[in-house]
Amino acid sequence: MRIGIIGGGLMGIALAYFLSQAGEQVTVLEQGAELGGLNGRIQFGGLTVARYQHAILPNDDRTRSLCARLGLESELVFRTVRTGFIHDNRIYPMTSLRDFLSFAPLTLKSRLQLGGALLQAQRRDRKTLDVVPVKDWLVQAGGAATFEGIWRPLLEAKFDGQYDTVPATYIWAWINRMMGIRRLPHLKGKVGYLRRGHYSLLQAMAEAILRRGGHIATQTRVREIIIGDGPVRALRTPAGLMQFDLVIAAIATPAFAQLVPGADRHYLERLGREKYLGLICPVMVLAQPLSEYWTLNLTDPNSPFSSITEIPHAEHPDCHVVYLPRYTASDNDWLGVPDEDIREAWLAHLKQVFRDFDEKHIRHFAVSRSRYVEPVYSIHASEKATAVQTPYPSLFLANTSQVYPELPTSEAVIVHAARVADRVRQPSPAAPLPA
Ligand SMILES: Cc1cc2nc3c(=O)[nH]c(=O)nc-3n(C[C@H](O)[C@H](O)[C@H](O)COP(=O)(O)OP(=O)(O)OC[C@H]3O[C@@H](n4cnc5c(N)ncnc54)[C@H](O)[C@@H]3O)c2cc1C
């Protein structure tokens, strides 16, 4: 089968990889100058850094076995990491149970309630959390004081204030993922990185796709998926119409909706209801470490960024790469702000926490922005997910809105891509149009 895949991010490339391994003839069409999407990279002269930091947790089994299959095992390094919170411009470690029990911003009662809530979430049947707003559940399980002191600022930052309808499954998925750091005794407390970044995983898959006779075209933006009476076969690109037996859009739902103006009105309305978060993320390369922490979450509502993640560059240990992300709802005020002003505001806040921080240690600085980084799930999300099979024969959609209840991680993307690759090869009727 000739299969056209729109999007050369991890989802599109993993799909193309699995399908080409199964003997299909794939073509990936990516609008960017390089593959990667969120897993892309930035070049600072001869220094390459990941556009956004990506870690592999010990329980990311599918990612680890894919790395092994692609000969990247020796590139995967695990490091012991420390995590913490910044509260009132002070750092509080949060790596061990002892850190947790001595977390001064909360009273002992609140700490015990918080611990109880986290244990409860881990043990709860996920389906019972699907219908409860995360705020209601956290207040009920951990108390109002803990919610106000810890959860509210974290949720505000993560969802840019729009978490009213986010289901409690978010906490369930987050705890289960973070517990993965403790699962394997020999990797307890460690997180993994690919030496040359996640981009090398995409590169290795891309090479395998080409070896199997697949095609990958960058700087090729699909402008329209042509929907007619029969199966969907044609894509409009700047180079003209391209024909396939089957098409998979491996892009965010709002981007997909723009490509199908000829689709049924009810279907378009349904696609339009899916909300996504965007991201503004300055990355700095420093000549010396900022702190000894891998990740610090901020509880200050006035901070322009929600967390600080720092990793030494795997190939240049004298370079320390620091990410300062801010998730953005579609109406966020920072969206139209120029990079220089972002830099000024972000560094001004950073200096409130790290008073000795000196800008002369910044070797490189860049601001990355992405419009659609992850879907915002809402209560009853499992019933609302947009199906992989669209109402149009031979047209499929694969993106992170479909990995619920898991978090939209690379691991979830790889698992989903393998599932979708199997699915599209089975004959199946188009989904019914929504009423
Ligand atoms: C800040 C950040 C940190 C993260 N950290 C981790 C982590 O530590 N561990 C982890 O497991 N996961 C992490 N993730 C999640 C992971 O990055 C995503 O799950 C994954 O990259 C999603 O890949 P994707 O292919 O679905 O989307 P994308 O990467 O967005 O890819 C979509 C691609 O489609 C292209 N495209 C869109 N429209 C068109 C068109 N019309 N024509 C052609 N091409 C088009 C885009 O250019 C893009 O390349 C992180 C994500 C972010 C944002």
User: Domain containing 408 — which CATH number?
Assistant: 3.50.50.60
Q: Is the pLDDT of residue 97 over 80?
A: no
Q: Is the pLDDT of residue 188 over 90?
A: no
Nearest protein Cα to ligand 1, atom 7: 54
Comparison of pLDDT for 328 and 123, the residue scoring more: 328
- Is the domain of 162 the same as that of 237? no
Nearest protein Cα to ligand 1, atom 49: 37
**Of 133, 166, 185, which one is at a domain's C-terminal end?**
185
Evaluate whether residue 85 is within a structural domain.
no
Looking at residue 320, its pLDDT comes to 97
Range from 93-97, 168-172, 253-257, 280-284 carrying the lowest mean pLDDT: 93-97
Q: Is the pLDDT of residue 41 over 70?
A: yes
Looking at residue 435, its pLDDT comes to 66
**Of 136, 165, 185, which one is at a domain's C-terminal end?**
185
- Is the domain of 284 the same as that of 232? no
Contacts of 108 (CB under 8 A, 6+ apart): none
The sign of the CA dihedral 432, 415, 66, 174 is positive
Beta bridge partners of residue 4, listed in sequence order: 27, 247
Q: What is the pLDDT of residues 99-118, one digit of tens each?
A: 877 788 888 888 887 787 77
Range from 122-136, 317-331, 345-359 carrying the lowest mean pLDDT: 122-136
Evaluate whether residue 403 is within a structural domain.
yes
Evaluate whether residue 33 is within a structural domain.
yes
* Domain limits for position 345: 276-375
Please state, in angstroms and as integers, the Cα–Cα distance from residue 179 to each residue in 63, 95, 102, 352, following that order: 17, 12, 20, 32
Comparison of pLDDT for 85 and 186, the residue scoring more: 85
299: domain CATH number is 3.90.660.20
CA 53 to ligand 1 centroid distance, Å: 12
- Is the domain of 31 the same as that of 99? no
Evaluate whether residue 431 is within a structural domain.
no
Nearest protein Cα to ligand 1, atom 48: 37
Comparison of pLDDT for 52 and 141, the residue scoring more: 52
- Is the domain of 27 the same as that of 174? no
Q: What is the pLDDT of residues 326-382, one digit of tens each?
A: 999 988 888 889 999 999 999 999 999 999 999 999 999 999 999 999 999 998 877
Q: Is the pLDDT of residue 434 over 80?
A: no
- Over range 401-413, report the average pLDDT: 94
Nearest protein Cα to ligand 1, atom 32: 9
CA 340 to ligand 1 centroid distance, Å: 25
Q: Is the pLDDT of residue 63 over 80?
A: yes
Q: What is the mean pLDDT of the chain?
A: 92
**Ligand 1, CB cutoff 6 Å, lining residues:** 6-12, 29-32, 37-39, 52, 54-55, 221-222, 250-251, 255, 259, 279, 281, 325, 373, 399-400, 408-411, 413
Evaluate whether residue 124 is within a structural domain.
yes
Looking at residue 174, its pLDDT comes to 85
Looking at residue 178, its pLDDT comes to 78
- Is the domain of 179 the same as that of 117? yes
DSSP H or E run through 190: strand 190-194
What percent of the chain is helix, strand and coil (3-state, nearest 5)? Answer: 40, 25, 40
Evaluate whether residue 156 is within a structural domain.
yes
131: domain CATH number is 1.10.3110.10
pTM of the model: 0.94
Looking at residue 424, its pLDDT comes to 94
CA 279 to ligand 1 centroid distance, Å: 11
- Is the domain of 99 the same as that of 233? no
Nearest protein Cα to ligand 1, atom 20: 410
- Is the domain of 140 the same as that of 216? no
Residue 399 CA: which ligand 1 atom is closest?
26
**Of 185, 212, 241, which one is at a domain's C-terminal end?**
185
Evaluate whether residue 82 is within a structural domain.
no
**Residue 27 binned pLDDT confidence (cut-offs 50, 70, 90):** very high
Long-range contacts at 101-109 (CB < 8 A, ≥ 24 apart): 105/149, 105/150, 105/299, 106/145, 106/146, 106/149, 106/150, 107/145, 109/143
| DSSP secondary structure of 243-276 | E-SEEEE-S-HHHHHHH-TTS-HHHHHHHHT--E
Nearest protein Cα to ligand 1, atom 6: 54
Residue 63 CA: which ligand 1 atom is closest?
11
- Is the domain of 132 the same as that of 103? yes
Q: Is the pLDDT of residue 429 over 70?
A: no
- Is the domain of 269 the same as that of 391? yes
Choice from 218, 372, 410 to test ligand 1 binding pocket (greatest atom count within 8 A of CB): 410
Which two three-digit tokens encode residue 208?
Answer: 């395998």
Choice from 29, 54, 403, 404 to test ligand 1 binding pocket (greatest atom count within 8 A of CB): 54
CA 264 to ligand 1 centroid distance, Å: 27
Domains: count for the chain = 3
Comparison of pLDDT for 184 and 270, the residue scoring more: 270
- Over range 302-314, report the average pLDDT: 94
Evaluate whether residue 84 is within a structural domain.
no
Comparison of pLDDT for 157 and 384, the residue scoring more: 157
